[in-house]
């Protein structure tokens, strides 16, 4: 069982990810609704995996990813992107994101991304 932190400003999106990830036996250790909360919760909960939305208020997913990587270079971060964000996605992969999921996603894509980073 892995510890998973969800960072997304959409409550509905957080709920969907939580349901899918808990469904394959992992534990959600925190939910952040912006990048600043994401960094704080990462430090507090030291999760095995983070799902990171790109577009969020306060601090976006790219800057949150960078801050987390500065704290823990081995962090396993899965980016959650929407259509038309390929430039930002490239930035995220350069900054060390391990996997990505594109909205709207099927549960299978989330499950595969989680399995991939746990390898």
Q: In what order do the strands lie in the sheet with 99-102?
A: 27-32, 3-7, 49-53, 77-81, 99-102
CB of 74 to Mg ion, least distance (A): 25
Q: Which is nearer to Mg ion, 45 or 55 (CB)?
A: 55
Query: Percent helix, strand and coil across the chain, each rounded to 5?
Result: 45, 20, 30
Q: Is 63 in the site for Mg ion (CB under 5 A)?
A: no
Which string of x and - marks every residue 7-26 that binds Mg ion (by CB under 5 A)?
--x-----------------
Q: Which of 53, 60, 91, 99 binds Mg ion (CB under 5 A)?
A: 53
How far apart CA 67 and CA 21 sit, in angstroms, is 24
- Residues forming contacts to Mg ion in the complex (CB under 5 A) are 9, 53, 55
């Amino acid at each position: 069982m892995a510890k998973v932190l969800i960072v997304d400003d959409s409550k509905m999106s957080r709920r969907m990810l939580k349901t899918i990830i808990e469904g394959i036996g992992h534990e959600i250790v925190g939910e952040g609704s912006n990048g600043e909360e994401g960094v704080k919760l990462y430090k507090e909960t030291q999760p095995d995996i983070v799902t990171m939305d790109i577009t969020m208020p306060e601090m976006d997913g790219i800057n949150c990813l960078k801050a987390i990587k500065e704290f823990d270079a081995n962090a396993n971060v899965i980016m959650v992107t929407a259509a038309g964000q390929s430039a930002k996605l490239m930035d995220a992969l350069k900054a060390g994101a391990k996997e990505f999921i594109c909205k709207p996603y099927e549960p299978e894509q989330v499950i595969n991304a989680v399995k991939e980073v746990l390898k």
